[in-house]
Amino acid sequence: MNNPLLESVRFKAQTWLNSSIDNESKALIEKMLQNDENELIESFYKDLEFGTGGLRGIMGPGTNRVNVYTIGMATQGLVNYLKKNFSNLSQIKVAVAHDCRNNSRLFAETTANVFTANNIKVYLFEDLRPTPELSFAIRHFGCQSGVMVTASHNPKEYNGYKAYWDDGGQIISPHDTNIINEVKAIKSIDDVKFNGKPELIESVGVEFDNLYISKIAELSLSPDAIEAQKDLKIVFTPIHGTAVKLVPMTLAHLGFQNVYHVPEQDIVSGDFPTVHSPNPEEKAALSMAIEKAKEVGADLVMATDPDADRVGIAVRDNNNEIILLNGNQTASILIYYLLYKWKENGKLDGNQYIVKTIVTSEILTAIAESFDVEYFDVLTGFKYIADIIKTNEGKKTFIGGGEESYGYLAGEFVRDKDAVMSCALIAEAAAWAKNNDLTLYQLLLDIYCKYGFYKEDLVSVTKKGKSGSEEIAAMMDGFRSKTPDSINGSDVMLVHDYQKQQTIDMISQLRYKINLPKSNVLQFVLHDGTKISVRPSGTEPKIKFYFGVKDNLDKPEDFDKVNKLLAERIENIKKSLGI
């Protein structure tokens, strides 16, 4: 039976066999050709592409897998694009770093070798380092680009490749598409220059860590509170990742003297032996740290993902129980703290702003408006926050920003979400709150009483492989072509279609332009203020549903009652949508 897809992947696999790849990879491809058609299809049915987080996938041989060859081809494509864009420079420079994952050092060195083989100077970190430090290095060394080898919080079989531009932010349109086109123009692995020039590599070490930490310390707004609460009990875990040294060093530099470790999770390992997934969004990833907090009586728990760009926290509630906060709640505390202290310190003059993503809680908008601080909404992905900072550089001052997926940033010297910096500011906010006889939990309840109780939820539906991608596309088409009139008994008032770059007023049927780049995202705004967002993930085989509801919280004692009502509303919305 004729199977065009199978014929295509067999042809691609044979092309790889006929190239100069290593014998181990050849043996694995031969095995797939003979015994495993499904794995052959998954490995070769498409080429890895840059999504919202760059190049990311399962490690193994094949065009749809992360290996030294796809890493090399991506780097060669990036090289070719850099040479076209910076032909006026006598020396193009890039920075390269990597996380703790299996093969990450190999992929980072491969990347560095391809760059130097093409006469590009590389600042290569001597060992694993956080993603935000790589972003800082790009700007510090005056680089034109940078690469971070990481798969963030994905399971251990994944690895990836984040590409950065000269502003220290992840690559966005049109550069991302143009780089992929350059990669596609490479017809053979043999077109990649793999033989590097060691003389063009400069090692970056601990002296740069100290510089990075000193820049974070400059963001401190309450040194007096830290001094008064220097014995605040904090438990920190890097979940086997790159923050293992940098976060404790930063906290100590600020003056915190009571930081507890989880020794088993201080072990750097790409196998992540103590967790199913190194994702600080998941309760299980923080379970060992929470047990440590119970043991030592800690006030605050912080956990970073493997490349240290995201942080999850846990705090004590009014019953002295340790509970997790979600990304929106942590963002609310951070932005409120930053704006409050900026105002108290007399630093707000109307020229400052914050940034959030379109799926992040609207409470950040309410907080910004209460301080008369401008706010920007951007597409999902921290690279769009970085782009706003770049656009406003020298004209307005960025105070802070965040996204619901546990990524936050303050200041302008880093242009990606920064868990090292965030840990420092969260700890400082906790010290400041304690100095004002509040826990972080009580501070959050005060924020809800002032601005409204905003409650959010996220449902991720996983659809793996080629068939999964097609199913996700069909789901988006269905929502787009058959907009519901009402959801959970509340009329749909507005539909924001970011793919069509338009807002539809469902009452008047008028259309309004959305001045953001195209993105496959739909949002439904209901009569009762509910906001529902639907988007396929750019880095994982998932379709995500974001739910945001709101009600008044008159006093902290009513939290449980209102929380239950909002949770029930979200569950009813899910049922109404068949999720």
Domain count, the chain: 3
pLDDT band at 537 (very low <50, low <70, confident <90, very high): confident
470 Cβ contact list (under 8 Å, min separation 6): none
Burial status of residue 157 (CB atoms within 10 A of its CB: 0-12, 13-18, 19 or more) = middle
- Do 284 and 275 touch, CB atoms closer than 8 A? yes
Domain-ending residue, one of 392, 424, 451 = 451
Is the domain of 69 the same as that of 165? yes
- Structure-token match 């770049």, residue found: 390
Confidence at residue 52, expressed as pLDDT on a 0 to 100 scale: 52
Nearest residue to 362 (alpha-carbon basis) of 550, 491, 527, 504 = 550
Nearest residue to 310 (alpha-carbon basis) of 153, 429, 82, 134 = 153
Residue 313 lies in a domain: yes
Residue 37 lies in a domain: no
C-alpha 371/C-alpha 557 separation (Å) is 26
pLDDT band at 67 (very low <50, low <70, confident <90, very high): very high
Confidence at residue 1, expressed as pLDDT on a 0 to 100 scale: 42
Is the domain of 435 the same as that of 287? yes
Angle (CA) 524-525-530 rounded to 5° is: 110
Residue 40 lies in a domain: no
Residue 214 has pLDDT above 80, yes or no: yes
DSSP-based helix, strand, coil % in the chain, nearest 5: 40, 20, 35
| Whole-Å CA distances, 209 to 19, 152, 204 | 41, 20, 9
Q: What is the mean pLDDT of residues 298-303?
A: 98
Confidence at residue 297, expressed as pLDDT on a 0 to 100 scale: 98
Is the domain of 311 the same as that of 445? yes
Is the domain of 390 the same as that of 289? yes
Is the domain of 402 the same as that of 472? no
Q: What is the mean pLDDT of residues 529-535?
A: 95
Confidence at residue 178, expressed as pLDDT on a 0 to 100 scale: 87
Find the DSSP H helices in 86-174. 104-117, 131-140
8: enclosing H helix or E strand: helix 4-17
Average pLDDT of every residue of the chain: 95
Confidence at residue 5, expressed as pLDDT on a 0 to 100 scale: 87
Give the CATH number for residue 434: 3.40.120.10
Q: What is the mean pLDDT of residues 174-180?
A: 86
Is the domain of 153 the same as that of 126? yes
Domain-ending residue, one of 422, 451, 480 = 451
pLDDT tens digits for range 358-395: 999 999 999 999 999 999 999 988 999 999 999 999 99
Give the CATH number for residue 463: 3.30.310
Encode burial over 405-428: b for 16+ CB neighbours within 10 A, e otherwise.
Answer: bbbbbbbbbbbbbbbbbbbbbbbb
Domain-ending residue, one of 204, 236, 269 = 204
> 139 is in which domain, residue-wise?
46-204
Residue 39 lies in a domain: no
Is the domain of 258 the same as that of 131? no
Residue 51 has pLDDT above 60, yes or no: no
Is the domain of 463 the same as that of 415? no
| Whole-Å CA distances, 215 to 100, 250, 412, 465 | 24, 10, 10, 43
C-alpha 180/C-alpha 43 separation (Å) is 18
Is the domain of 247 the same as that of 326? yes
C-alpha 135/C-alpha 309 separation (Å) is 11
**Per the residue annotation, which of 43, 152, 332, 519 is the catalytic one?**
152
Is the domain of 215 the same as that of 185? no
- Do 493 and 506 touch, CB atoms closer than 8 A? yes
Task: Report whether the peptide linkage leading into residue 556 is cis, meaning its omega lies within 30 degrees of zero.
Answer: no
Angle between helices 243-254 and 206-217 (to 10 degrees): 50
pLDDT tens digits for range 221-273: 999 999 999 999 999 999 999 999 999 999 999 999 999 999 999 999 999 99
Nearest residue to 109 (alpha-carbon basis) of 212, 194, 177 = 194
pLDDT tens digits for range 103-135: 999 999 999 999 999 999 999 999 999 999 999
Better-scored residue on pLDDT, 451 or 50: 451
Least confident of 127-141, 321-335, 464-478, 505-519: 464-478
Residue 324 lies in a domain: yes
Q: Is 152 a catalytic residue?
A: yes
Is the domain of 318 the same as that of 426? yes
Confidence at residue 539, expressed as pLDDT on a 0 to 100 scale: 63
Residue 50 has pLDDT above 80, yes or no: no
Q: What is the mean pLDDT of residues 17-22?
A: 89
pLDDT tens digits for range 538-569: 667 889 999 999 999 999 999 999 999 999 99
Q: What is the mean pLDDT of residues 167-181?
A: 89
Residue 382 lies in a domain: yes
Residue 498 has pLDDT above 80, yes or no: yes
Is the domain of 182 the same as that of 221? no
pLDDT band at 35 (very low <50, low <70, confident <90, very high): confident
C-alpha 76/C-alpha 312 separation (Å) is 36
| Whole-Å CA distances, 356 to 232, 306, 428, 524 | 30, 23, 22, 18
C-alpha 572/C-alpha 579 separation (Å) is 10
Instruction: Report DSSP letters for 308-337, one per residue.
Output: SS-EEEEEE-TTS-EEEE-HHHHHHHHHHH
Residue 12 lies in a domain: no
Residue 17 lies in a domain: no
